[in-house]
Structure 1
Amino acid sequence: MYAPERQQRIVQLAQELGRVEVPSLAEDFGVTQETVRRDLTALERAGLLRRVHGGALPAGGLHLVEPGLAERDSTAAADKERIAKAALALLPEEGSLLLDAGTTVARLAALLPLDSALTVVTNALPVAARLAEYPHLDLHLVGGRLRHRTQAAVDAWALRDLADLQADTAVIATNGFSAEAGLTTPDLAEAAVKRAMVASARRVVLIADSGKYGARYFARFATIDQVDVVVTDTGLSDERAAEISALGPQVIRA
């Protein structure tokens, strides 16, 4: 088990049990107690745990549970529809487009004109299914292990597919975002793919409903200053929009 995987499991155990102890963690993972202490120190610095004598306690405010597609699609549905329509106006008329996995991204894909001639790359099965019948679209589906909860391709194959791309625009989804914490998601493998998409695009558009602002998940895949445009809804306050804008992105509230 790699260190990031071990640390993710430590945080999960702390959430489930209310406390984790150094000796038992060392035994469970087959590593030294010093290795566990280093893990706990790293997790405390990241704000994910609070160190106590002999172990650690969960930090408040961290989300580890990821809802399924059906639940996410029905949450803030009207806001997501407006966000998708606003984001449509930001897409290039020609060139290349990366589409991330996410229910709002899938709504955006469904709004693309049927005569669109873009080159589209996606790791999301729902997005690819929506675009498969577009006659002029050059559609590329990223391979990899399928995460059933998000129906997204992840891991080494997906990262290899994305490594050499230079797309005009990437449309990225997130589970949580804020000026302080950046863009976060519960799963390390999914975070790696999102990070690769951000790195592979000349322009990054984040689409996320305002209910995700302030939510903080285990894996950060981008900082706010790596995003060019944030498209959200009017539920995001003027103060929070200003916090984001101060870091560089344009903020559009649909």
Structure 2
Amino acid sequence: MYAEERRRQIASLTAVEGRVNVTELSERFNVTAETIRRDLAVLDKDGVVHRVHGGAVASQSFQTAEFTLDARSRSASNAKSAIATAALEFLPAGGGSIFLDAGTTINALADLIGSSPIAPHLSIVSNSLPIALSLASNGVPDVQLLGGTVRAITQAVVGDTALRTMALMRADVAFIGTNALTLDHGLSTADSQEAAIKSAFVNHAHKVVVLCDSTKLGTDYLVSFASLDDIDVVITDNDAPETILQQIRDRDIDVVVAKR
């Protein structure tokens, strides 16, 4: 496991549980206590957690930092692959229309859709350059890439042009990625323009399926783009804390745990 991925999981556990200790984290991740202390020091410096004697407690600050696509694709890659496979079950039966949000987990889903027998029967709209290219490379016949401004760090199309186009569209299912998920702040991300597109996807779909690996549960980013009341399904991996999964189920949201 990369250090970056381990730290994201530690941040998520701290946010969910409120407090973590070095010994338990060392056993969970099968690394030395000194490695965990270094991880906590990095997270404390970034403002993600607060170091205390023997461990760390959750920070109440909202995150704003974004990682490159390459860094995000390496993080929790096995979990993202399992989540994407589980998401195939929510494609419209017999074909229909879907929105594919920008993000590395959604990109993994797009790769699977491209080789699926249902692909020729789907009408797909996305704001992601990598996703549109993946689908087109696999010969998917009905793919629309929203027009607008491209954000370099995420290769996502954003802006007024994309939003005006979205105002005219509806889909059977929206597959949405998120930087973070909490009960109070809902789904959140770092950039307001990407948040606006994500919100449009959510509001213009009959069913909303969120693909969210366990490292993102219990953390908050600056801009909330949907509440839990807006979503129907959350697909995560088997490292997700049962505490937060049950809290999500209590909101009448279907939770699918994909095994890596």
d(CA) in 2 for partners of 1:96, 1:206: 16
Tell me if 1:64 matches 2:64.
yes
d(CA) in 2 for partners of 1:137, 1:238: 40
d(CA) in 1 for partners of 2:222, 2:234: 21
Q: CA RMSD in A?
A: 1.2
Q: Give yes or no for contact 1:87–1:108 (8 Å, CA) kept in 2.
A: yes
Amino acid at match of 2:104: T
1:4 alignment partner in structure 2: none
Q: Deviations 1:111-138 (Å, cap 9, x if unpaired)?
A: 0135412000000000001001344531
Q: Deviations 1:99-120 (Å, cap 9, x if unpaired)?
A: 0000000000000135412000
1:189 alignment partner in structure 2: 193
2:224 alignment partner in structure 1: 220
User: Which residues of 2 match residues 105-184 of structure 1 at below 5 A?
Assistant: 105-112=106-113, 113-115=115-117, 116-117=119-120, 118-184=122-188
Amino acid at match of 1:62: F
- Structure-1-length-normalised TM-score: 0.75
Structure 2: where are the runs of 5+ without partners?
Answer: 1-58
Please give the secondary structure, in 2, of the residue aligned with 1:217. coil
Q: Give yes or no for contact 1:182–1:224 (8 Å, CA) kept in 2.
A: yes
Tell me if 1:208 matches 2:212.
yes
- Structure-2-length-normalised TM-score: 0.73
Amino acid at match of 1:107: A
Relative contact order (alpha carbons < 8 A, sep ≥ 6): 1 or 2 greater?
Answer: 2
Larger Rg, first or second structure (1 or 2): 1
Distance 1:67 1:179, change over 3 A: same
2:96 alignment partner in structure 1: 95
Please give the secondary structure, in 2, of the residue aligned with 1:153. strand
What is the CA distance between 1:178 and its match in structure 2? 1.4
d(CA) in 1 for partners of 2:185, 2:125: 27
2:244 alignment partner in structure 1: 240
d(CA) in 1 for partners of 2:163, 2:240: 33
Distance 1:246 1:127, change over 3 A: same
Q: Deviations 1:13-55 (Å, cap 9, x if unpaired)?
A: xxxxxxxxxxxxxxxxxxxxxxxxxxxxxxxxxxxxxxxxxxx
d(CA) in 2 for partners of 1:187, 1:204: 21
Q: Give yes or no for contact 1:179–1:247 (8 Å, CA) kept in 2.
A: no
Q: Higher mean Cα deviation, 183-192 or 233-242? A: 233-242
> Aligned pair count?
196
Amino acid at match of 1:69: L
Structure 1: where are the runs of 5+ without partners?
Answer: 1-58
d(CA) in 1 for partners of 2:140, 2:191: 34
